[in-house]
Amino acid sequence: MTKRLTITILALAGAMTGCIQYPMGLSKEQWEALPPAQQAEYQAKQYQINEDRRRQAEALQAEQARAAAQAAEAERARIANVYAAAQYGDIITVSIRGGIISYGGKSYPCEPVGFDIVRGEAKDIEFRGAVYQNGMAKALVTRCRVRLSDDSSTFYFNDNSARRIVLTNDGSWERGTTHRMGGRGVNNDLDVNMADMIITIHYRTTGPAPQRVIIEHRDEHRRH
């Protein structure tokens, strides 16, 4: 490879990244002072270094992906076990209706959504919105992270955002209660705004419901 051809290749590579980078960390002056044979040697060494780094990065990514998959599978197994052993008060049923989801300057009426979630569980819920323009339906599909606390008394909506909504049981989840978001909107990680939703929460009937103690007051003087 000639010196001129070598410099041309480096210049093309540098143009793609915004600056010219020479092998082995050399400056332009140092590189141009080398004879063509040594330039070729340095290029080969730099290529091997880059290839080793690429393989190391791929191996690290593969290991991280494997660890993430194992963690996700372990979490799915844990949640499945919690569902299987759930007692009354461990699972809530959530219904979300009404509301508007907005993106790109357009607003879409949100379709109703319902789901169960068990204590300690976090998951992404899919929301769909649709708007009709000139007889054509345009749909928006987005996701929002929800989570139920380990003691199943606090529900987090849009949990992976600083603008999450926190709903705490005040004793009304046993019979069911409704929380109105009103104009209080949230933005999920896709920068989709969600507002004006009505969230209804109640404990799902799973296992024996808590027993109520009834105290009767009787007259101590009985008729004989």
Residue whose token pair is 């210049």: 11
Q: What is the pLDDT of residues 60-108, one digit of tens each?
A: 999 999 999 999 999 999 999 999 999 999 999 999 998 888 887 888 8
What are the φ/ψ torsions at residue 148 (nearest 5 degrees)? -115, 135
Give the confidence band of 189 by pLDDT, cuts at 50, 70, 90. Answer: low
Segment 146-154 shows an average pLDDT of 95
Give the confidence band of 5 by pLDDT, cuts at 50, 70, 90. Answer: very low
% of the chain residues with pLDDT over 90: 54
**Sign of CA pseudo-dihedral 176, 180, 184, 188:** positive
Question: What pTM was computed for the model?
Answer: 0.67
| pLDDT for 7 | 44
Between 108-112, 173-177, 207-211, the lowest mean confidence (pLDDT) is in 207-211
Amino acid at 77: A
pLDDT at 207 over 60: no
DSSP for 39-95? HHHHHHHHHHHHHHHHHHHHHHHHHHHHHHHHHHHHHHHHHHHHHHT--TTSEEEEE
* Tokens linked to 134: 């000139």
| pLDDT for 214 | 42
Segment 196-213 shows an average pLDDT of 72
| pLDDT for 190 | 64
Residue 198: other Cβ atoms inside 10 A: 15
Q: What is the pLDDT of residues 11-32, one digit of tens each?
A: 444 544 456 889 989 999 999 9
Q: What is the pLDDT of residues 119-145, one digit of tens each?
A: 999 999 999 888 777 777 778 888 889
What are the φ/ψ torsions at residue 37 (nearest 5 degrees)? -65, -40
Give the confidence band of 191 by pLDDT, cuts at 50, 70, 90. Answer: low
- Yes or no: say if 165 and 182 are a contact pair by the CB < 8 Å rule: no
